[in-house]
């Protein structure tokens, strides 16, 4: 019968045989046939056995049984003095899959660097399927743990990871880290979300850094397109971003002029404000193909020649 007394006697016999090299394999096979979760608590007690072989074998068995009561004891084993034991404890935790994520993630707050490193490796090893569980864990953790979790999500990669990190922009605890990671991922999908938080002074430097990392050809056309929006608030925010980027975005502004409609003049004015010398060089090359560009540029640079602006014209209205 599977009584506590019988279990204790059986395990005592298994332990004795595990310590003997001649009978160790038979003892391992005997452990293999245990399937009942009633054995979990008795097995957990053996994790503190002084013999590394016992700890090594029992850790593997607890992973096979997959009962959540074993998660904390197995995590404690991640800092075991024996490498083989640590390795089997990690392999056992991986077998738990998503069940161990909320518990394991909290150990990112451990003062033990060995455990923190092992936690990261285990979570990454499980794979992208745990991203929803990791994102859910963000809601319950503090700054340190949350930022280590978002780093694991980034390491897992893929579309789900990108989506989770984009959502992280709105999480005050991890938004700085999320912005940087999206730049490192070269996430084109993140560009509109990054632009929305540019109005927060403490995030502007990070947003521009991220946009640079995403890449000129990917990010700048999206930014310039937002400049042509009919929304005043979006246009104002986009103008600030463009001014912060500066000279590298000039050619993208120039490419937008032919299709900018009534905003052609404001786009030209913005180019001139960023760097008038470089802007004029670009505009002069375009003028032969688009004569209107020369007219609009003249109205801005020589407002006295603009019949519609006797008091300084468009340039003065923009505060130039």
pLDDT in tens, the chain (320 residues): 578 888 888 888 888 888 888 898 898 888 888 888 888 998 999 999 999 999 999 999 999 999 999 999 999 999 999 999 999 999 999 999 999 999 999 999 999 998 999 999 999 999 999 999 999 998 877 899 999 999 999 999 999 999 999 999 999 999 999 999 999 999 999 999 998 898 888 998 899 889 988 988 888 998 998 898 888 888 888 899 999 899 999 999 999 999 999 999 999 999 999 999 999 999 999 998 999 999 999 989 887 655 555 444 444 443 33
Give this prediction's pTM: 0.77
145 lies in some domain: no
Does residue 136 lie within any of the structural domains?
A: no
Asked if residue 71 is part of any domain, the answer here is no
For 228-248, letters b (16+ CB in 10 Å) and e give beeeeebbebbeebbeebeee
Which of 85-90's residues contact partners 24+ apart within 8 Å by CB, and which partners? 85/52, 85/55, 85/56, 85/59, 86/118, 88/56, 88/57, 88/59, 88/60, 88/63, 89/59, 90/118, 90/121, 90/122, 90/125
Q: What is the pLDDT of residue 305?
A: 56
Question: Residue 304: its pLDDT value, please?
Answer: 64
Domain presence at residue 289: yes
- 311 is in which domain, residue-wise? 215-320
Residue 166 inside a domain? The answer is: no
pLDDT score for 4: 80
- Supply φ then ψ for residue 107, to 5 degrees: -75, 0
Residue 304 lies in a domain: yes
Q: How many domains does the chain have?
A: 1
pLDDT (0 to 100) of residue 306: 55
Asked if residue 299 lies in contact with residue 265, where contact means CB atoms within 8 angstroms, the answer is yes
Q: Answer yes or no: is 185 within a domain.
A: no
Q: What is the pLDDT of residue 314?
A: 42
What DSSP assignment string belongs to 198-267? GGSGGGHHHHHHHHHHH-HHHHHHHHHHHHT-S-HHHHHHHHHHHHHH-GGGHHHHHHHGGG-GGGHHHH
Residue whose tokens read 């000039």: 250
Q: What pLDDT score does 319 carry? A: 36
Residue 49 in domain: no
């Amino acid at each position: 019968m599977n009584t506590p007394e019988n279990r204790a006697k059986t395990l005592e016999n298994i332990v004795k045989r595990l310590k003997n090299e001649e009978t160790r394999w038979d003892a391992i096979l005997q452990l293999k046939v245990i399937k009942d979760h009633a054995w979990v608590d008795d097995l957990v007690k053996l994790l503190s056995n002084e013999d590394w072989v016992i700890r090594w074998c029992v850790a593997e068995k607890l992973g096979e049984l997959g009962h959540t009561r074993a998660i904390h004891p197995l995590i404690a084993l991640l800092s075991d003095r024996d490498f083989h034991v640590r390795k089997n404890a990690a392999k056992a935790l991986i077998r738990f899959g998503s069940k161990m994520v909320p518990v394991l993630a909290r150990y990112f707050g451990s003062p033990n660097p060995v455990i923190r490193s092992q936690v990261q490796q285990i979570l990454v090893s499980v794979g992208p399927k745990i991203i929803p569980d990791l994102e859910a864990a963000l809601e319950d953790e503090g700054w340190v743990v949350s930022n280590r979790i978002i780093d694991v999500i980034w390491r897992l990669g893929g579309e789900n990871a990108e989506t989770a990190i984009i959502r992280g922009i709105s999480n005050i605890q991890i938004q700085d880290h999320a912005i940087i990671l999206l730049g490192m991922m070269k996430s084109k999908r993140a560009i509109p979300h990054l632009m929305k938080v540019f109005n927060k002074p403490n995030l502007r430097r990070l947003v521009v850094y991220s946009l640079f990392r995403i890449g000129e050809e990917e990010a700048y056309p999206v930014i310039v397109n937002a400049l042509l929006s009919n929304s005043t608030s979006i246009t104002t925010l986009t103008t600030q971003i463009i001014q912060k980027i500066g000279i590298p975005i000039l050619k993208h502004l120039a490419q937008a002029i032919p299709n900018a409609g009534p905003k052609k003049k404001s786009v030209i004015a913005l180019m001139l404000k960023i760097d008038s010398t470089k802007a004029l060089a670009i505009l002069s090359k375009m003028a032969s193909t688009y004569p209107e560009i020369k007219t609009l540029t003249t109205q801005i640079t020589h407002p006295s020649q603009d019949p519609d602006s006797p008091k300084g014209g468009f340039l003065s209205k923009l505060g130039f």
